[in-house]
Chains A and B, each alone.
Chain A
Amino acid sequence: MTKFDNPLAPKFGRLMNHSAQIKAWVREARDLPEDTPITVAELACRDEGCPDIETVIGILEVDKPIVTLRLHAKMTELSRYDVLAIACNF
């Protein structure tokens, strides 16, 4: 019988709701239409002194360079305020 928690288990769906929520907040902050692609991912942060995981948001507006927003927290730890603050001010 398996006795360990699998740290590499496929993550599909685990963060789906959080990802959708973050995208909605970014759209709200920057007044983006629904068809503007936004991508959200949790990445291992490689900077010294940073938390292990950061959330990286990409905004891919038509005919514009991709805008990258970085928040030094996991998706689950982000609040609407956090996302609005960075998305509005970038």
Chain B
Amino acid sequence: MKKELRVIGKPVPKHDAGIRVTGKAVYGHDIVLPGMLHGAILRTEHPAAEFTIDVSQARKLPGVVCVITADDVDVNNIGYKRDHPILKKGEANCTRDEIAAVAADTKAIAQEALKLIKVKYKVRKGVYDPFEALNEKSPQINKFISGKFPNKNIAEVFHYEHGHLEEEKKKSAVTVTRRFSLPRMTHTCMGTSNITASFNKTDGKLLLYSSTQVPFLYQRDMAHALKMNPSDIRVIQPVIGGGFGSKLDMHPFEPICALLSIKTGRPVQILYSREEEFIASPTRQPMIIDLTAGADEKGNFTFREINIIKDNGAYTSWGATTPFVIMQAFSSLYKVRACKFDATAVYTNNVFAGSFRGYGNPQATFALERIIDLLADELKMDKAAIRLLNANEKGEITGQGLHFETCGHKECLETVIEKAKGKRQKHVASGAEPAKVENPRFKNGIGYASMLHVGGGAKIYRSDGCGTTSKIDPYGYCTIITGSNEIGQGSETVLAMIASEELGIELKKIKVINTDTDVKPWDVGVHASRTSFVAGNSLLGAIRILKDKLNKKASELLQTNDPEFEYSDNKIISEKTKTTIALDKVVREMHFSEPNELAIASFFYEPSSKFQDKDFKGNVSGTYAFASQAIEVEVDTYTGNVKVLDIYVAQDVGKVLNPLLLAGQIEGGILQGVGYALTEELLMHEGKILNPNFHNYKILTASDIPNIHFYPIETNDKQGPYGAKGVGEAPLIPTAAAISNAVCDALGVEFLELPMTPERVLKAIHENK
């Protein structure tokens, strides 16, 4: 018998909203430890230069406790490829490069000390274009890579293929080739990057208050960098002021802060200024995508051939691995018979990218969905119809081996097409009458895009699992100790709701412990939209074991052999004998009478997904998420300004766990996507960032929001907790693609790059005349 859910699916406000809305939440910026010093970092003045450094004057400044350069530390390189020195020695290759660090009594003294450090630069001509970097004559930019690739400036390559490419090319009635160009976008978390490190010289243990998204990987990376034992490093996460992927990599300022603490034996704190945050925190990967795609005369997609050049910057971060996700979009979003994919990450003297919500997928989806519109134009087909024709289906195993056991793609498409009906496309190739033009200054258009993303974790590490310990105390309160992390997305709330649902304990009696690597069980971290899915399943496993113990005791106390107890209203109820016992009483009887036993249970959940083979084939996620968006824009042809009017979004979320939190993810993600489409670009000139502030790097404000119409699609995936799939990244992924399709529809122009700033829109209008 399927019971009605009491808590799951309800709009429960955030479990931890109370501390955040009263100013009581302690972020890294708010931590003050006894005897704490303030750290500051000196970065190179030139993105490509040799240098010599003299810190003697800085060391003499009263209030300065420690100054370090590369010469003062014995450390390993960091980064995904271990090609990134924490402090750079003699040579700078990127405007972010850390060349010295100071710890002082006050922030002001630390800044003053930086000014006293004398650096002599011998400036070199940098390489800022990845194509130029691939030229044999260009200098080697990163000297720390082992050099297994034919070109010295290649950091990483990916190759994938399925199907018979040449045959499919022959079968194609139309073929379109385009080059797409994607900008640097940055996270702009409202809370800037921060760390507080406290090293105890007596026992050799290092305590870090860090806003990492991946505390256990971070602990390991930090230990490698500092040549320490990982278990001697304890990572505590204070409340985190935004993540969005920026805190997946460990960045140099973090081991630098640890080193300052190790040297001084005192706590040291480093807080980024907003300018530093723009300059020195990661970005979304800029890339050039060459895409050729074909379709047969009916509109069935035949093949895709992709070649991507990614500007890796001077060092390699997790961002270099985004082709894992990018190739999924190209190989498996909409059915396609053949696919050949190559991606190359190329070193330049630019800033390096990192991980950013969507992990390469917004770039891939932009190129793919734009080319689908172009294929439809060639075929004189309706842009909605060509998408419906090729949409993914339940049961499909794609060329890459992704198995869609549930699939809401078609339903998502149908929903947004239906809801946006009446918003007729302006440039209709299929012969239908286009919408009437009322004011020649303003032109409206509509665009569609879909997306495919992992929805049940992603098996990239040896384990994609999550551990949970759950206990009930003698007062009937439940504590969940989870490996997963809260970064504002609502993970604590979802876990508390699951415990409340399963144990019949009210939400206010549920506590979530999730911030301390010395306490919590292992978990990969917050990425790949995995937390609700993986941590939710892990908690359900722990509760199952806990309930077995409670059931046993309850059977004894109620003198029934009923195996089906109902947990409700803080009680355990036997349906059979109609008897009831208070949950806290059962726990007390377990704890305090012989044979004494704790009401506690642990479980480790590992998703059913598999590692991909060397050809990148395999079912990499427990389940997959789909979404479609239909977006109407209004373009002011006098100013080039694009106004997004309505966004219709349907997303296969598996099952709605909490509609309030879900809507928050959708709306927040979409607005980041609108920014990617229209306003956000970190501008660079010869390796330097030109707009490191909110005045010149525009993230959207309350005034810029479109009307968002959200339709959750429930496909109830049996792998997910209550049928749920991951939702966090999806809303951002198709937004820029759909907006660009809408702008192209409105103006009859072709956009192949982002963002579509007024300047670029006017240029496109002008060139089209």
Q: Is A bound to B?
A: no
A contacts, CB < 8 Å to B: none
Binding site for A on B (CB under 8 A): none
